[in-house]
Chain A
Amino acid sequence: MSALRRAGRWVRWYVREFTDESAYERYVAHVRQHEGPSAPVPSRREFERTRADAREGDPREGFRCC
């Protein structure tokens, strides 16, 4: 059972990393670590918008091949 649960956790972790769903938590952790635990962070909504708009600015980011 615990092996199964570990495998399940691993898959969840992998899928969240692969889809970049974990980007927000990663960013918040990054800011907290470098600017102190009470540093201001954007809300998830703001963060995701900024990320989408960045791709607008340079479409080469995240470009996929034929």
Chain B
Amino acid sequence: MRNASPKSIAIWTAVALVGAAGWAVLALARGEEVSAAWMVAAALGSYAIGYRFYARFIATRVLKVDKTRATPAERLDNGIDFHPTDRRVLLGHHFAAIAGAGPLVGPVLAAQMGYLPGTIWIIVGVIFAGAVQDMVTLFFSMRRDGKSLGQMAREEIGPVGGAAALLAVLAIMIILLAVLALVVVNALAESPWGTFSIGMTIPIALFMGFYLRVLRPGRVTEVSVIGIALLLFALVAGRWVAESSWAETFTLAPSTLVIWILVYSFIASILPVWMLLAPRDYLSTFMKIGTIGLLALGVIVTLPTMKMEGITDFAGQGDGPVFAGSLFPFVFITIACGALSGFHALISSGTTPKMMQKETQVRMIGYGSMLMESFVAIMAMVAASIIDPGLYFAMNAPAGVIGDNVQAASEAVKGLGYTISPDQLAAAAKAVEEHSLLSRTGGAPTLAIGVSEIFSKVIGGASMKAFWYHFAIMFEALFILTALDAGTRVGRFMLQDMLGNVYKPFRRVSWWPGLLASSAVIVALWGYFLWVGVHEPLGGINQLFPLFGIANQLLAAVALAVCTTLLVKSGRLKWAWVTAVPLAWDAVVTLTASWQKVFSSDPKVGFFEQRSVYQEAIDAGKVLPPAKDMDDMHTVVTNSTVDGVLSALFAVLVIVVLLDAGRTCVRAIRKPETATLTEVPHTESTIVAPAGLIPTKEEKAELAAAGPAASEEGSR
């Protein structure tokens, strides 16, 4: 800042004031309804400052990005997977790859503690942890020709930590797929409109696949336009179906939907990529970008007021119906994507680093994309907070608490400390043309209600509410189903790789018996948790979501441990706190949550305590609510045991990785000469390209000096 111009000082002071004003209003409001504008101001002001100052500090002082050093894309350019990609295009690619259902679901669930704890974590977490992890992982993977997180863990930490990291990734994938599938089941159950429109995406995708494979190879844009048009038509047609005599056929019970989803995922995962996966990817990417864009626009245009309190009583008491446990650590577990998401490390250490044009662009791609995802999470929080809190709890508390009719639900909500009349509950369901909104857990339906509220204010008014509700459901279900297919494939690939160590042919991806068997194993594993989640008397989301959160944050711990080890080994001990502090925070959160999930004496929180309470009741011949009969009681006992063991396993894995990383760091500090880095040596870069979105004055001069081709590239 030594030579900051007065103009720049004035601009950044103004930005800081906007952010501070947002925070002040959010923090000081008591009892009155706050406009979402303040939340947007707090978020955008903080992001701008984090990006301008902290991210720049990390890029220049900690990582020392070097614009004279050629990236893997420049050195290994093969015109296919390694190629220098324009920074704005890569930003789009990377953002589309990291943003999914995660940032939309977590904040909705966390809203049970009020909007404030979640909002603080989303904004502070992304600036100091999430975006840092993405950017630093991207940088180190780029310096290693795009090696994966697992490979880096093995090579830089050691074989034990590496194996634990690999196992963790597979376990996390299983839980992730089960929870995502559960969200879809809860959104589509008993909803003929939703089920029909989502079902139609299969023939649409098959048609697009055929078009791209046979009719006009590679014409992605035109086929996507056709696909989106068909998709919107399927959405409109869904209403006709729901009103026709076919409605019965598409009104499916949760357990029937589970079977369909498992069958679909298994078949989809063994079909060739071009048939279903690739076209679905295009559809869901366009829907995702479109919906997120519309949502941002809608929030900014309508600036709705938030009806949820800033902090609810559930934050302190930890007895909320959506998920059990107190604010610390469970808000930080529930909101993973959007604040800190381990999964991003898999994207930042795979495809993206192979396409970086300049080292200097890691700030924009790594840190910038994650800020955008964080803003998506903020919008999800807004959407969940603008709906009536009574409706929010009626939708998100498990069926065991809420009951199966509007009278019982109204009573139950009163018991939670909120009010909503049976008529209001019925009217809310009718407004979106659903049979019932009671206990539609998982976040997607709640988000869809919020989205329909916002969108209908911009386009169509109250008569369009039902359409926008199903639009939002469709958009979530679409990319979750795509994720189930893609995730099963990745899980299968990892399993084939592991089994290949025992029996060689497994490693050949074209060996059919191995392919079928490993696909079936992966689907069966997550299918088990999905089945359990749907039949869980205590509520599947309530029980499984914390496991998913712990798993995701565990992966973040692995990624941050790899980053910290690399900072230490490369002689940046002085700066290791940049990733070590978020790592410490993440480890404390994850391990506290695991500890409570395993050892807590509160049966709502601790799985083993829950198990023993229900086991004792079974021994005494009693049925404890919300279980309805002895079968339910046995289900609870089995599920609590499995979930408890899994929590413990996750904690052990993260401790193994942390200990191994610690050992490597200590050795590197004691004997710096033994620290071996697998970094690719410096090669001179000849590409001239700006670091940020808008070229600076110096960069424009460099581009002009580099010749007409480069300067045309820059001005495009």
Q: Which residues does A use to contact B, with CB under 8 Å?
A: 10, 13-21, 23-24, 26-27, 29-31, 44-45, 47-49, 51-66
Q: Taking A13-B716, A14-B88 as contacts, is the C-beta distance between A66 and B217 under 8 angstroms?
A: no
Residues of A within 8 A of B273 (CB): 52-53, 55-56, 59
> By the criterion CB–CB under 8 Å, are A65 and B217 in contact?
no
> By the criterion CB–CB under 8 Å, are A59 and B89 in contact?
no
B545 on the interface (CB 8 Å rule)? no
A57 → B minimal CB distance (Å): 6
Q: Taking A65-B97, A65-B100 as contacts, is the C-beta distance between A52 and B224 under 8 angstroms?
A: no
> By the criterion CB–CB under 8 Å, are B490 and A65 in contact?
no
Residues of A within 8 A of B97 (CB): 63-65
Q: Taking A10-B716, A52-B273, A65-B100 as contacts, is the C-beta distance between A60 and B350 under 8 angstroms?
A: yes
The winner among B218, B282, B489 for most chain A CB atoms within 10 A is B218
7 closest residue pairs by CB, A with B: A30-B79, A59-B489, A66-B102, A19-B220, A48-B217, A27-B79, A17-B89
Interface pairs (14), CB distance under 8 Å? A14-B89, A21-B219, A30-B79, A48-B218, A49-B274, A55-B273, A62-B351, A63-B97, A63-B346, A64-B96, A65-B102, A65-B343, A65-B344, A66-B483
Mark each residue of chain B from 318 to 350: 1 if its CB lies under 8 Å from any CB of chain A, else 0. Answer: 000000000000000000010001011011001
Distance A59 CA – B490 CA, assembled complex (angstroms): 6
> By the criterion CB–CB under 8 Å, are A44 and B493 in contact?
no
B561 → A minimal CB distance (Å): 20
A43 → B minimal CB distance (Å): 9
Residues of A within 8 A of B486 (CB): 59, 63-64
Residues of B within 8 A of A16 (CB): 221
> By the criterion CB–CB under 8 Å, are A23 and B218 in contact?
yes
Known: A18-B89, A63-B351, A66-B343. 13 other contacts (CB 8 A): A19-B224, A21-B220, A27-B80, A30-B83, A45-B217, A48-B217, A56-B273, A56-B509, A64-B347, A64-B482, A64-B486, A65-B102, A66-B102
The 8 Å CB contact of A26, one of B79, B92, B176, B278, is: B79
Nearest residue (CB) in B for A30 is B79
The 8 Å CB contact of B78, one of A21, A30, A49, A57, is: A30
Q: Taking A21-B221, A30-B78, A52-B273 as contacts, is the C-beta distance between A65 and B489 under 8 angstroms?
A: no
> By the criterion CB–CB under 8 Å, are A65 and B80 in contact?
no
B93 on the interface (CB 8 Å rule)? yes
Distance A61 CA – B278 CA, assembled complex (angstroms): 12
B434 on the interface (CB 8 Å rule)? no
Distance A34 CA – B341 CA, assembled complex (angstroms): 40
B272 on the interface (CB 8 Å rule)? yes
Q: Main SS of the interface on chain B?
A: helix
Distance A48 CA – B341 CA, assembled complex (angstroms): 33
Distance A58 CA – B485 CA, assembled complex (angstroms): 14
> By the criterion CB–CB under 8 Å, are B86 and A65 in contact?
no
Residues of A within 8 A of B92 (CB): 14, 18
Nearest residue (CB) in B for A13 is B716
Distance A64 CA – B480 CA, assembled complex (angstroms): 11
Distance A57 CA – B176 CA, assembled complex (angstroms): 23
Distance A62 CA – B492 CA, assembled complex (angstroms): 15
The 8 Å CB contact of A52, one of B88, B219, B274, is: B274
B101 on the interface (CB 8 Å rule)? yes
Q: Taking A21-B221, A61-B351 as contacts, is the C-beta distance between A66 and B101 under 8 angstroms?
A: yes
> By the criterion CB–CB under 8 Å, are A51 and B80 in contact?
yes
Distance A52 CA – B208 CA, assembled complex (angstroms): 14
Nearest residue (CB) in B for A17 is B89
Q: Taking A16-B221, A66-B102 as contacts, is the C-beta distance between A61 and B81 under 8 angstroms?
A: yes
Nearest residue (CB) in A for B509 is A57
B281 on the interface (CB 8 Å rule)? yes
Residues of A within 8 A of B313 (CB): none
A60 → B minimal CB distance (Å): 6
Residues of B within 8 A of A64 (CB): 96-98, 100, 281, 347, 479, 482-483, 486
Residues of B within 8 A of A44 (CB): 217-218
B562 on the interface (CB 8 Å rule)? no
Nearest residue (CB) in A for B284 is A64
Residues of A within 8 A of B80 (CB): 23, 27, 51, 54
Distance A14 CA – B86 CA, assembled complex (angstroms): 10
Q: Taking A18-B89, A18-B93, A64-B281 as contacts, is the C-beta distance between A30 and B490 under 8 angstroms?
A: no
A47 → B minimal CB distance (Å): 8
Nearest residue (CB) in B for A52 is B274
Distance A58 CA – B509 CA, assembled complex (angstroms): 8
A46 → B minimal CB distance (Å): 9
> By the criterion CB–CB under 8 Å, are B79 and A29 in contact?
yes
A21 → B minimal CB distance (Å): 4
Residues of B within 8 A of A24 (CB): 218
Residues of A within 8 A of B86 (CB): 17
Residues of A within 8 A of B93 (CB): 18
The winner among A26, A44, A55 for most chain B CB atoms within 10 A is A55
Distance A11 CA – B78 CA, assembled complex (angstroms): 26
Residues of B within 8 A of A19 (CB): 220-221, 224, 282
The 8 Å CB contact of A61, one of B217, B221, B350, is: B350
Residues of A within 8 A of B341 (CB): 65-66
B212 on the interface (CB 8 Å rule)? yes
The winner among A30, A49, A53, A65 for most chain B CB atoms within 10 A is A65
B707 → A minimal CB distance (Å): 16
B436 on the interface (CB 8 Å rule)? no
> By the criterion CB–CB under 8 Å, are B100 and A66 in contact?
yes
Residues of A within 8 A of B79 (CB): 26-27, 29-31
Residues of B within 8 A of A63 (CB): 97, 346-347, 350-351, 486-487, 490
B180 on the interface (CB 8 Å rule)? yes
A34 → B minimal CB distance (Å): 8
